[in-house]
């Protein structure tokens, strides 16, 4: 078993009851047991530590009844009921009862759980012997043989290491036959706990004279404790975890029963934590009417602290978590004795470094430098309740998923902890199973329990092809409802949906769309970035038997209007704002321009749903006589919770599911239709080829509105039943954090994403250890980059070929020999056939370049309303013309050599564009490169090299030609013009838009002066 914690940056809310003090409870119960008569201790605590003390006292013969919230203790001489008294797993019970057991009427053995047999308490045993207790042990560790008989008293020496040792002596000394003097040798480390012991002894009539520095105590002999009634105060040590959670998240929480916001007036030994929390900037207000401390804020800039741990030793774990996210350097002094708690808590908290924190230990000082964020990690709690609870709070604010061993350790001191944290909205859950860390060399196993791993074979692929998109979600919502399905990985925040939540939200959205008139076969268009609403909306649309028609977020008014018109969409969904643009307002503006002269038709959309900006929503647009604009949340709030979808709406695998418009690397986008069964089959084919399983986690930086993100991100997650991690705005460092925190194992994206990841790791960002496969699509992967990325990322970099129309056709595998992985675009997936033909359609032998065609069960149904274009794309025998030139080797591995339209025909000699680009990419001054045809009166075409240079380089054409010369490349293939640019024009998934390069090169040939380096502006085209 383990504790699974999902990080979130969302706010926390709620109210929890603070339990009563276990420190007061231990002392009150023991003192009441020693006082002849009846004592009443109100304010029960369920802490297991306290229950162990109750059990030990009962074993010694003390009668303890429970009435409502009160312990009723009948004190008097100890008459042990049996020869063995157990302290369970409570160190406090062990230390206190070791000497007090001698006051019984028979010899006993004091023992505890097995790990106590390794706990050295020789210093305490020596002090007890000095007092006259006949106590023996094996090696200074429990079990302890305690002979009955009152102690003698006298002068006793004890180390000031642990307060419980001192308190154990003080509790016993009043019952000695002569006066006892307890002298503390060395520093007194934990004075607040000793102060509580003295105060509680006074409540029960016992006298102790203590020096001001609490290093000398005189205890008169032959004292008699007297009964007392008292109420236990709130446990600040437990409340600390709620306050820490509120410090790390935007919060509006109440801690009921906590009656103070500072240490003033409190005798709780950990009250100083309140002062430290306030010093760090946690706003705490006491609400007298509610008897609660309330913490309310929208985000804190925590301040560092300087702490002497002798006052709050048990608070070091939780304070160190808060310090990790403080703005500056925190120092924790005098930490040596903290290493002697239930575990070495200093070493345990150094695990925060594996989450990205910065903790160092030097001598008896722990220094923590605040960091901007933490990442998920697999951690050990060492069966220490405070370590477990503190690291879980850290994990709740981290990026990703963390796991902790000994998940139930919290019950020993704060049984309500897990319920309290989940009440606030934090995602913590005890799960069954054995934790296994991912290994790059095989399918990663994230810790998700003991369910069987699903590996796809031929039969499973066929079975998958018979399942629709919404049925996948329903399946996982039933089988693994509480597991993570979707992770929102925004620039500053992240959230997540479980399969159950995804299913429920999709049903709600489907009901809302039904009320708007969406029916089976209708097309619903949406222009959304990579966020959970995209996934929810897709499932909802498909659940109604409608067709999802996502629109690329980069599309502007003209492209959006064109897509909406061609799709015939009756509903359009958009975000209010994305990257400075306002899609709904743009659409409204387009519709209002009734006198426009462009050729863009006005789309006939009936309803537009807008996902508003929660912090600063803008007014909804309105268009006279046009579509109705709705607030997304308002529409959903009108849906009845018990809304039922019509049974006939559910799609079949043969129904259309997806309408995508091609990315336009060579011209105007065309609508591509795919059915449910084809999408499920395509995802299952890739899973079978790569050995992907339900234990994987899919990272999606590619737009979900493109086939790479939609099918090989979102739909692949549906088929596998594994998490999908969404990134709406590309940032390589953020991507690495998301992959590390959420244990991403698989990515399919274009070459630029891979280039940036490698650059980020080269710059010092730690590579995501769980990543094992990166499938590079969209453009040929430079082989030099693939080889380097394999080393830098520690993952398999697999080339592939696919199109919007066909899905993936060929794919390499990490198990292939390196020359195939890095030097080809893979081999055909199971069920796919490939061939190379000449311009007349004649089959060419292996090793000969020609036109690449393929036949696959995942080929599209055709271009929307364009049978003429569909006919052009397919041969008479049904093969798809890819428009690429390629070579197939004897083993069936594919190597794309270029686009038919990208071929540069120089005087009848065809330049192998892809090979020259691959070679030029290896030049040390080249960051990115593409060749394009430049018209020439004599030769027809010449090659122009568009190069993004490495920063600071002074690249010239002679550098490139010299480089090619040294690699024995024919002069006919050398570029004859060099244009330095800031970036190559790429579409949203990384494909170089060669038609723009050709247009620019054509302007050179037309006599226009060559542009200055960096000036071509492709962003608006």
Domains of the chain with CATH codes:
2-15+239-431 (3.65.10.10), 22-231 (3.65.10.10), 458-837 (3.40.50.12780), 903-1021 (3.30.300.30)
- Rounded to whole angstroms, how far apart are CA atoms 699 and 712? 10
In sequence order, the 6+-apart residues with CB closer than 8 A to the CB of 811 are 686, 689, 690, 775, 798, 799, 800, 801, 825, 826, 827, 829
Is 2 in contact with 379 (CB distance < 8 Å)?
A: no
Is 251 in contact with 12 (CB distance < 8 Å)?
A: yes
- Rounded to whole angstroms, how far apart are CA atoms 430 and 405? 10
Predicted pLDDT of residue 1020: 36
Beta-bridge partners for 979: 946
Specify binding-site residues for phosphoenolpyruvate: 22, 91, 119, 164, 345, 386
- Rounded to whole angstroms, how far apart are CA atoms 227 and 478? 57
Find out whether the peptide bond into 666 is cis, omega within 30 degrees of 0.
no
Choose the catalytic residue: 314, 384, 756, 959. 314
In sequence order, the 6+-apart residues with CB closer than 8 A to the CB of 930 are 917, 945, 946, 984, 992, 994, 997
Specify binding-site residues: 22, 27, 91, 119, 163-164, 314, 341, 345, 386
- Rounded to whole angstroms, how far apart are CA atoms 894 and 816? 13
Collapsed DSSP state (helix, strand, coil) of residue 857: coil
CA 371 to chain centre: 17
Specify binding-site residues for 3-phosphoshikimate: 22, 27, 163-164, 314, 341
Is 403 in contact with 4 (CB distance < 8 Å)?
A: yes
Locate 747 and state its tokens.
């990515």
Is 793 in contact with 767 (CB distance < 8 Å)?
A: yes
- Rounded to whole angstroms, how far apart are CA atoms 241 and 389? 7
Predicted pLDDT of residue 343: 82
In sequence order, the 6+-apart residues with CB closer than 8 A to the CB of 234 are 18, 19, 20, 21, 257, 258, 259, 268
- Rounded to whole angstroms, how far apart are CA atoms 368 and 304? 9
- Nearest 10 degrees: CA dihedral of 201, 205, 208, 213? 50
Low-confidence residues of the chain: pLDDT under 50: 436-454, 595-597, 665-666, 1008-1021
222: left (phi over 0), alpha (psi -120 to 50) or beta: left
Predicted pLDDT of residue 824: 86
Q: What is the CA radius of gyration of the chain?
A: 35
pTM: 0.77
C-alpha angle with apex 95: 90 to 101, nearest 5 degrees? 105
- Rounded to whole angstroms, how far apart are CA atoms 834 and 851? 11
Which strand (E) or helix (H) includes residue 41?
A: strand 37-42
Which strand (E) or helix (H) includes residue 319?
A: helix 316-324
Locate 559 and state its tokens.
């492209």
C-alpha angle with apex 231: 227 to 235, nearest 5 degrees? 130
Q: Is 314 a catalytic residue?
A: yes
What letters, b where the CB count within 10 A reaches 16 and e where it falls short, cover 38-74?
Answer: ebbbbbbbebbbbbbbbbbbebbbbebeeeeebbbbb
3 state SS for 363-390: CCEEEEECCCCCECCEECCCCCHHHHHH
Question: Distances from the Cα of 104 to the Cαs of 61, 77, 197, in angstroms?
Answer: 9, 7, 22
- Rounded to whole angstroms, how far apart are CA atoms 390 and 385? 9
Which strand (E) or helix (H) includes residue 737?
A: helix 732-741
Collapsed DSSP state (helix, strand, coil) of residue 64: strand
In 3D, which of 86, 35, 37 has the Cα closest to residue 57? Answer: 86
In 3D, which of 285, 390, 261 has the Cα closest to residue 338? Answer: 390
pLDDT, tens digit (0-9, with 9 covering 90-100), for 891-901: 999 998 877 77
Q: What is the DSSP string of 954-998?
A: ---HHHHHHHHHHTT--GGGS-SEEEE-SS--B-TTS-B-HHHHH
């Amino acid at each position: 078993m383990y504790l699974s914690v999902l990080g979130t940056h969302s706010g926390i809310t709620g109210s929890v009851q603070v339990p009563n003090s276990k420190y007061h409870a231990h002392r009150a119960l023991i003192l009441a047991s020693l006082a002849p008569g009846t004592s009443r201790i109100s304010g029960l605590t369920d802490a297991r530590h306290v229950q162990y003390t109750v059990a030990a006292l009962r074993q010694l013969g003390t009668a303890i009844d429970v009435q409502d919230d009160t312990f009723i203790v009948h004190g008097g001489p100890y008459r042990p009921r049996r020869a063995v008294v157990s302290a369970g797993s409570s160190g406090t019970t062990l230390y206190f009862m070791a000497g007090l057991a001698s006051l019984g009427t028979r010899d006993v053995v004091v023992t505890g759980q097995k790990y106590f047999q390794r706990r050295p308490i020789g210093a305490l045993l020596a002090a007890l012997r000095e007092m006259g207790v006949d106590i023996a042990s094996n090696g200074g560790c429990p079990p302890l043989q305690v002979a009955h008989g009152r102690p003698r008293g006298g002068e006793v020496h004890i180390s000031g290491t642990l307060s419980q040792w001192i308190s154990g002596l003080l509790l016993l000394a009043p019952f000695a036959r002569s006066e006892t003097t307890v002298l503390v040798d060395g520093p007194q480390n934990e004075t607040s706990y000793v102060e509580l012991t003295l105060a509680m002894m006074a409540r029960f009539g016992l006298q102790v004279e203590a020096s001001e520095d609490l290093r000398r105590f005189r205890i008169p002999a032959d004292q008699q404790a007297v009964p007392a009634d008292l109420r236990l105060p709130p446990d600040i040590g437990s409340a600390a975890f709620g306050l820490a959670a509120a410090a790390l998240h935007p919060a509006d929480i109440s801690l009921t029963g906590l009656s103070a916001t500072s240490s003033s007036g409190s005798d709780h030994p950990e009250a100083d934590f309140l002062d430290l929390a306030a010093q760090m900037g946690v706003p705490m207000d006491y609400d007298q009417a509610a008897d609660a401390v309330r913490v309310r804020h929208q985000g804190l800039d925590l301040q560092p602290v300087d702490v002497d741990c002798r006052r709050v030793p048990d608070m070091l774990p939780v304070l160190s978590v808060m310090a990790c996210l403080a703005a500056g350097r925190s120092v924790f002094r005098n930490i040596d004795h903290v290493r002697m708690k239930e575990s070495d808590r200093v070493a345990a908290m150094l695990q925060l470094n594996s989450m990205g924190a910065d903790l160092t230990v030097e001598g008896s000082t722990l220094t923590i430098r605040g960091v901007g964020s933490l990442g998920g990690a697999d951690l050990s709690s060492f069966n220490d309740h405070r370590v477990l609870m503190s690291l879980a709070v850290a994990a709740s604010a981290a990026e990703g998923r963390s796991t902790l061993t000994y998940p139930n350790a919290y019950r020993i001191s704060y049984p309500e902890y897990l319920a309290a944290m989940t009440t606030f909205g934090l995602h913590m859950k005890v799960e069954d199973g054995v934790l296994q860390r991912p290994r790059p060399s095989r399918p990663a196993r994230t810790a998700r329990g003991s369910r069987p791993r699903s590996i796809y074979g031929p039969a499973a692929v066929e079975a998958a092809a018979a399942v629709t998109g919404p049925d996948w979600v329903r399946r996982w919502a039933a089988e693994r409802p509480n597991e993570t399905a979707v992770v929102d990985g925004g620039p500053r925040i992240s959230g997540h949906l479980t399969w159950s939540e995804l299913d429920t939200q999709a049903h709600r959205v489907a009901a809302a769309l039904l009320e708007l008139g969406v029916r089976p076969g209708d097309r619903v268009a949406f222009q959304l970035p990579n966020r959970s609403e995209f996934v929810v909306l897709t499932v909802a649309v498909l659940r109604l038997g409608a067709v999802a028609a996502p629109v690329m977020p980069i599309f502007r008014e003209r492209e959006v209007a064109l897509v909406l018109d061609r799709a015939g969409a009756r509903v359009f969904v958009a975000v209010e704002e994305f990257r400075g643009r306002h899609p709904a307002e743009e659409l409204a503006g387009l519709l209002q321009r009734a006198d426009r002269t462009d050729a863009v038709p006005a789309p006939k959309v009936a309803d537009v749903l807008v996902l508003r900006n929660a912090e600063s929503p803008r007014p909804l647009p309105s268009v006279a006589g046009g579509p109705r604009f709705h607030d997304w949340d308002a529409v959903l709030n009108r849906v009845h919770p018990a809304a039922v979808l019509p049974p006939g709406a559910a799609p079949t695998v043969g129904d259309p599911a997806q309408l995508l418009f091609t990315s336009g690397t060579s011209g105007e986008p065309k609508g591509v239709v795919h059915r449910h069964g084809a999408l499920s089959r395509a995802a299952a084919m890739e899973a079978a080829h790569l050995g992907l399983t339900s234990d994987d986690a899919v990272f999606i930086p590619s737009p979900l509105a493109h086939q790479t993100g939609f099918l090989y991100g979102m739909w692949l997650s549906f088929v596998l039943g594994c998490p999908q991690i969404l990134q709406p705005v590309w940032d390589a460092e953020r991507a690495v954090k998301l992959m590390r925190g959420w244990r991403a194992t698989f990515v399919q994206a274009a070459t630029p994403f891979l280039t940036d990841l490698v650059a980020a790791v080269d710059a010092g960002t730690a590579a995501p250890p769980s990543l094992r496969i990166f499938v590079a699509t969209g453009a040929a992967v430079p082989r030099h980059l693939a080889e380097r990325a394999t080393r830098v990322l520690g993952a398999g970099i697999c080339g592939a070929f696919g199109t919007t129309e066909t899905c993936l056709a060929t794919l390499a595998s990490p198990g292939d020999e390196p020359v195939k992985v890095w030097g080809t675009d893979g081999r055909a997936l199971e069920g796919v056939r490939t061939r190379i033909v000449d311009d007349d359609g004649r089959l060419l032998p292996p090793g000969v370049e020609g036109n690449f065609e393929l036949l696959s069960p995942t080929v599209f149904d055709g271009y929307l309303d364009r049978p003429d274009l569909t006919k052009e794309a397919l041969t008479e025998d049904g093969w798809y013309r890819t428009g690429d030139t390629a070579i197939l080797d004897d083993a069936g591995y594919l190597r794309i050599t270029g686009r038919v339209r990208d071929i540069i025909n120089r005087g009848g000699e065809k330049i192998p564009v892809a090979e020259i680009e691959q070679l030029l990419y290896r030049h040390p001054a080249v960051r990115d490169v593409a060749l394009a045809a430049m018209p020439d009166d004599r030769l027809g075409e010449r090659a122009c090299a568009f190069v993004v240079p490495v920063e600071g380089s002074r690249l010239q054409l002679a550098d490139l030609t010299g480089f090619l010369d040294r690699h024995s490349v024919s002069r006919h293939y050398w570029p004859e013009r060099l244009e330095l640019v800031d970036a190559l024009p790429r579409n949203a998934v990384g494909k170089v838009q060669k038609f723009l390069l050709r247009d620019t090169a054509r302007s050179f040939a037309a006599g226009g002066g060559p542009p200055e380096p960096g000036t071509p502006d492709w962003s608006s085209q």
